[in-house]
Amino acid sequence: SQQGEEDPQALSIQEGENATMNCSYKTSINNLQWYRQNSGRGLVHLILIRSNEREKHSGRLRVTLDTSKKSSSLLITASRAADTASYFCATDVRGSGNTGKLIFGQGTTLQVKP
Amino acid sequence: NAGVMQNPRHLVRRRGQEARLRCSPMKGHSHVYWYRQLPEEGLKFMVYLQKENIIDESGMPKERFSAEFPKEGPSILRIQQVVRGDSAAYFCASSPLDSQAFFGQGTRLTVV
């Protein structure tokens, strides 16, 4: 079964609006990470939030983590056309510390219209 | 410090041929991971290797797929007798011990 599930699957907004994507997972985690992938390109690491953290900010990004609900959200504020991409959450469920074995969600495709 | 380097970026193979995908980890990284991404899907873990050792291959198909990370040189993901269903993007990630992994740009395999 899929560890990470994201919603919505697709999101279309106007430039300047905020975009919120959600991710749910099933098992206990060490950390949860968000990645961006432009069409046909590689993954760009956006932010990592550890299981003992509840909120983290990086520029226009805000990530929350609720381990009791096994869910996370990614908020992009003041969106730009360049934010158009697919966004994936990924959970690290292995051992202690941070490792590279990640379980990815199906992704949310974000389109920001100029 | 160059990032994770994968080559080739694009690979076309006929059904039945072999595909070899290479991954050079970042300098100082001793852990390598391979993931596969089918069209319109997220990445799926395949295998985790350290130098000369396969640590976790729980995501590898039972047949035709193999991976290695020799003492010298890049990690290799090898797919024998490719079929159309093997067409996907294959990503490699590397990390030092117990730290965030960094992803390469991927190899896009097309089986014709």
| pLDDT per residue as tens, chain A (114 positions) | 345 678 888 999 999 999 999 999 988 888 899 999 998 788 899 999 999 999 999 999 999 999 999 999 999 999 999 999 999 999 987 664 555 688 898 899 999 999
Give B18→chain A minimum CA distance, Å.
23
For chain A positions 26-85, those within 8 Å of chain B (CB to CB) are 33, 35, 40-43, 45, 48
Residue range A84-109, pLDDT digits in tens:
999 999 998 766 455 568 889 889 99
Residue range B81-108, pLDDT digits in tens:
999 999 999 999 998 876 678 899 999 9
Find the radius of gyration of the CA atoms of chain B.
13
User: From CA A63, how far away is CA A47, in angstroms rounded?
Assistant: 8
- Smallest Cβ–Cβ distance between B100 and the set A4, A41, A98 belongs to A98
Task: Find the mean pLDDT for residues B63-88.
Answer: 96
Mutation target vs B (from A7, A24, A101, A109; most B CBs, 10 A cutoff): A101
Copy the structure tokens of residue A84. 């158009």
CA separation, residue B18 to residues B14, B38, B79, B105 (Å): 9, 19, 6, 21
Residue of A5, A9, A3 whose CA lies nearest to A92: A3
Q: Above pLDDT 90, what percent of chain A?
A: 68
Contact at CB, B33 and A88, closer than 8 angstroms:
no
- Smallest Cβ–Cβ distance between B48 and the set A48, A101, A103 belongs to A101
Q: Are B105 and B90 in contact (CB under 8 A)?
A: no
Task: Tell me which chain B residues have a C-beta less than 8 angstroms from the C-beta of A35.
Answer: 103
Q: Is the CB of residue B46 less than 8 Å away from at least one CB of chain A?
A: no
Q: Is the CB of residue B69 less than 8 Å away from at least one CB of chain A?
A: no
- Smallest Cβ–Cβ distance between A102 and the set B45, B105, B106 belongs to B45
